[in-house]
Amino acid sequence: MPTLFDGDTGASLGTIFIDEGVRQKSWNDVLPKFLQEAAQDSALGVKSDIAQENFPDFQDSQIFSEVTQRSDPALVTGDGSTNPLTGTIAADQRGVKILPGSFTATDGVEIFTDPNADGVLVGDQGGSGTLNFDTGAFSLTFNTAVVNLVDVAMNLKALRDVPLSDPIRTSDGREYSIRNA
């Protein structure tokens, strides 16, 4: 989700906003108040207003999360007896975070999905599993163990770790950035 980061320390200052779709709220709806509070944080000793020229124009006021489609034809390989199959989706595959509800996995017989977007996986043949969106750790319990040397393929959508804005500077010189987190 779009998160505000301190440009000096790299510390997360929290999620800016959450919206159900990919389309997010306008900058003018969410950033000024949040940044004014951050800039006036007495723990930082900062007492200034945000310089208005550092806010994006209304014309480019929509923020979109950077989402990328990922797939792996061989997430894990069956051996004919091990059940559940467990592992961790590689960091370069999961990005900053796996988008809830986007994960699917199959051995060609059973298909696992995340129907409630909560990390609880359901197999169409009675299997079950779990997925941690942040770490990529997964467990897939197939109705019947995956046949020896058969690969389990997966597809997912992941939030990319890319800047979602130009740096935002306060009038006292502090800098903030917005990235997926």
Nearest to 144 by CA among 74, 75, 84, 77: 84
Tell which phi-psi region holds residue 10, choosing left (phi > 0), alpha (psi between -120 and 50) or beta. left
**b/e 160-177 (16+ beta carbons within 10 angstroms → b):** eeeebbeebebeeebebb
Q: Which CATH class is domain 69-158?
A: mainly beta
Q: Which residues contact 88 (CB under 8 A, 6 or more apart)?
A: 135, 136, 137, 138
**Burial call 105-131: b when 16+ CB within 10 Å, e when fewer:** bbbeebebbbeeeebebebeeebebbb
pLDDT for 43? 37
The string of pLDDT tens digits covering residues 91-130 is: 777 766 788 888 999 999 999 999 998 999 999 999 999 9
| Domain edges within the chain | 2-65+162-180, 69-158
Q: Would you state the pLDDT for residue 163?
A: 57
DSSP string covering 130-147: EE-TTT-EEEEE-SSPPP
Q: What is the mean pLDDT of the chain?
A: 70
Average pLDDT over residues 74-96: 86
User: Higher pLDDT residue, 170 or 136?
Assistant: 136
| Weakest mean pLDDT among 8-12, 35-39, 80-84, 91-95 | 35-39
Amino acid identity of residue 66, one-letter, is E
CA 31 to chain centre: 20
